[in-house]
Amino acid sequence: MVERADDVSSAWPAAFTASLVAAAADGGSRRFGCMVDCASGDWPMRVLAVGADRLGRGLETDLLPMTGPSDVRDTTRAFNQMKDRLTRFVNERTHMLVALSHDLRSPLTAMRLRVEMLDETEGSIRLKALVEEMQAMVEATLEFARGVAKAEATSAVDLTALLGDLVKDVARGGASFAPREPLYATFRPQALNRALRNLIDNAVRYGGVADVTLTQESGTAVISIADKGPGLPDDQLEAVFEPFVRLERSRSRDTGGVGLGLAIARTIIQAHGGTVALHDLPDGGLEAAVRLPIGAV
């Protein structure tokens, strides 16, 4: 006799429940392979998926429990090893950057003192400007590296309130933000504040204004920061995110920084599992489009 499909679909829940009961009666994981984490009630693959999602967002992630069938345990073990290696790699690289930047301070300070003792000529003035620029770059790099190394705790953040406060803080009143209902998600608030501030400041500095909007799309917060400037050539839309690449070419610190603002913003946003990209607008101007995951984890 051939079993019909509707008989199978109606019979499998009962059989599955019976298997769970039998597994529980026999000590849980020994007979059933603990397809469900017997301690927490979670499916091991679901636990693994949540852990991977949290790791991708830069959130605190404990080592995952070794439960479930052998192939799931092997996958979990590989994930835990990958997490440990990634954490060590990032920490070692950051500490090296801090050490190098710190060690450069002393020779640069000595160079500046010697330059100050020179007669004021065109050459000495130029040399002094170069040393000051190098010092500014080292200080900015050191500040950034220390910020990355600092383990800031995550907390619930209202993106609507955060953007509203940032727009109010922008000098010259060159930013606008349309109020909307609160939108909460888990972030490192100080880091995210710094990233979004850099983007808004850049829009005002180089494009005159920063028109900021916040929308939500299927578990993702979409932040648009648009200006009215001349935009950028296509070959620079990605290059400006590289460290020490500046939008303003005069290299004067009066009209721009040292070229770390966008690099810092992208690093922080990516550490939250998000993305940021620049686009030229059809009617002129440049848009920084930020996408941040806000789904439950």
Q: Tens of pLDDT along 95-143?
A: 777 777 777 778 888 888 888 888 888 888 888 888 887 877 777 777 7
Question: Is residue 212 located within the same domain as residue 178?
Answer: yes
- The answer to whether position 63 is within a domain reads yes
Alpha carbon distance 146, 152 (integer Å): 11
Largest Cα span, the chain: 105
Structural domain includes residue 16 = no
Domain with 118 in it: what CATH number? 1.10.287.130
User: Do 144 and 270 reside in the same domain of the chain?
Assistant: no
Res 279 pLDDT > 90: yes
Whether residues 87 and 202 share a domain: the answer is no
187 φ/ψ angles, rounded to the nearest 5 degrees: -140, 175
Residues 38 and 108 reside in one and the same domain: yes
Top-confidence residue, 3 or 235: 235
Task: Pick the last residue of a domain from 151, 173, 198.
Answer: 151
Summarize pLDDT for 50-106 with one digit per residue, the tens: 888 777 766 667 788 888 888 888 888 888 888 888 878 877 777 777 777 777 778
pTM given for the model: 0.62
The confidence band for 28, taking pLDDT boundaries of 50, 70 and 90, is very low
Structural domain of 195: 153-297
Cα 146 from Cα 94, distance rounded (Å): 8
Q: Is 238 helix (H, G, I), strand (E, B) or coil?
A: coil
pLDDT of residue 96: 75
User: Nearest Cα to 193, choosing from 223, 229, 227?
Assistant: 223
Q: What is the pLDDT of residue 59?
A: 66
Same domain membership, residue 249 and residue 214: yes
Residue 33's pLDDT band (cuts 50, 70, 90): very low
In a domain, 7, yes or no: no
Number of domains composing the chain: 2
Q: For residue 258, is it within any domain?
A: yes
Neighbours of 93 (CB within 10 A): 13
Last residue in a domain, options 98, 116, 151: 151
If one compares 206 and 255, the residue with the highest pLDDT of the two is: 206
Q: How many C-beta atoms lie closer than 10 Å to residue 230's C-beta? A: 12
